[in-house]
Homo-oligomer: A and B are copies of this chain.
C-alpha cells in the first residue's frame, strides 16, 4: 500500500523545483543537497520525468531542470504514475504463480470494488497540483514547518 520512494522523492524534487523563485534551471546536485536525496537515484528518477515531459533539461555548467509545464498543470498523480505505473490495487487479470486470478463469482464483485477504489484514489491524486503544494508551503512558512517537525520527532 506504500507509494515507493521513487514516487515520493519525485514529488519532493518536483516541488523543490517549483519552489525555486528565479528562472535558472535547478541542478540535481542542488536538489540532492536541499532534500537530502541520493543524487544517483535522482538521475534515474529524472530520466523518467523527462521522457514524459514533466521536466525539461539543460545540459552543461549551470544546467539543470525546469518544470515542463506550469505548476498548476502538474498533478501529484501524474508524477506518481510516471514512476509507478497506473494506480492499481489488485492484480486481477494477471495470473499469479500459475494460478489464474479472478475465478470465483465474488472475486468479480471484489474486482469491481477494487477498480472503483483505484479510480477514486486516482482522482484524489489528480486533484492535487504542484501549485497547491507551493501555496501550502508558502502559507506555512519554511522555518515554522521545520521547527514543528523537529519537535514532533524528537
Binding site for B on A (CB under 8 A): 1-5, 8, 11-12, 15-16, 19, 34-36, 38, 76, 84, 87-91, 93, 96, 99-100, 102-114, 117, 120-121, 124-125, 128, 133, 136-137, 140, 142-143, 145-146, 148-149, 153
A36 with B100, Cβ < 8 A, contacts A2-B91, A153-B93 known = yes
Give the number of times this chain occurs in the complex, counting copies.
2
Question: Which residues of chain B are near A153, meaning CB under 8 Å?
Answer: 93, 102
A57 to B38, CA, bound (A): 50
Question: Which residues of chain B are near A104, meaning CB under 8 Å?
Answer: 12, 16, 34-36, 146
Q: Give the interface SS of chain A, mostly helix, strand, loop or mixed.
A: helix
17 A–B pairs (Cβ distance < 8 Å), ordered by A = A1-B3, A1-B87, A1-B89, A3-B89, A8-B114, A11-B110, A15-B106, A35-B104, A105-B145, A108-B140, A108-B145, A108-B148, A109-B137, A111-B149, A112-B136, A117-B124, A121-B121
